[in-house]
Amino acid sequence: MSDFPPGAIVSVLGGTGPQGRGLARRFAAAGIPVVIGSRSADRASDVATALAEEVGGTVSGADNATAAGQGDVVVVAVPWDGHADLLRDLNGQLAGKVVVDCVNPLGFDKQGAYALPVEEGSAAMQARAILSESTVVGAFHHVSAVLLEDPTVVEIDTDVLVLGDDREATDLVQALASSIPGVRGVYGGRLRNCHQVEALTANLISVNRRYRAHAGIRVTDL
């Protein structure tokens, strides 16, 4: 059950990567019209066609700029490298929209993952600094791409922390998160507190290694 508005289109930039493709799959399965964006329109179309065949629903593919223009809500699931450049290029297309940043700025060395320093404080705060006319929300940082993409996983046992300063936008993205079976969208604070949510992904990677798991997070007492 989700209150996400019927017919509202969700575009997923970086929708051909594991995280973006996994989210697109789950949104499409929930009956949400999805546009997959990618640097290559052809590749986006291929992924969209495959997804539509597998899970049904309305899925199309386009280059990132076209996808950004078509979405009512636009999910940014691109690698941290290139995050700023992409958003600068799409500032116009993203004006007036709710932009959902789920990018985790992480580095990796022989000791595992760690949080990269970000001048603006976090990927989400960087997005807000660049996208002067969009409403930026942070969400979907911890959802395992492996689980999202696994057709045998019916429900995903995790909450999605949703961060932002606009109540209407965070409510909308909580509803979007809750459209995925098993998932509950939970308000997680203001956007200035998004850094630690992004960075916590490094800890979950450590958890996954130690316990051979695909760990998620549940908030208790709600």
Which of 75/186 has CB closer to a copy of itself?
A: 186
Is there binding between residue 80 and a copy of itself (CB under 8 A)?
no
User: How many CA atoms lie less than 13 Å away from 210 in the CB half-sphere?
Assistant: 9
Residue 92 CB, shortest distance to a copy of itself, in Å, is 30
Which of 22/188 has CB closer to a copy of itself?
A: 188
Which range, of 23-31, 43-51, 73-81, 110-118, touches a copy of itself by CB under 8 A? 110-118
Which of 83/195 has CB closer to a copy of itself?
A: 195
Which of 102/113 has CB closer to a copy of itself?
A: 113
Residue 165 CB, shortest distance to a copy of itself, in Å, is 9
How far apart CA 12 and CA 7 sit, in angstroms, is 16
Restricted to residues 168-187, the positions that interact with a copy of itself (CB under 8 A) are 186-187
Is there binding between residue 26 and a copy of itself (CB under 8 A)?
no
Residue 134: closest CA among 168, 93, 173, 102:
93
Restricted to residues 119-158, the positions that interact with a copy of itself (CB under 8 A) are 157-158
Residue 8 CB, shortest distance to a copy of itself, in Å, is 24
- 3-class SS at 35? strand
Which of 65/197 has CB closer to a copy of itself?
A: 197
DSSP 135-170: EEEE--SS--HHHHH-TT--S---EEEEE-S-HHHH
* Selected binder of a copy of itself within 114, 145, 166, 171 (CB under 8 A): 114
How far apart CA 18 and CA 149 sit, in angstroms, is 8
Is there binding between residue 197 and a copy of itself (CB under 8 A)?
yes
- 3-class SS at 112? strand
Beta partners for residue 98, in sequence order: 73, 135
Residue 130 CB, shortest distance to a copy of itself, in Å, is 21
> Helices 123-130 and 195-211 meet at what angle, rounded to 10?
150
- 3-class SS at 208? helix
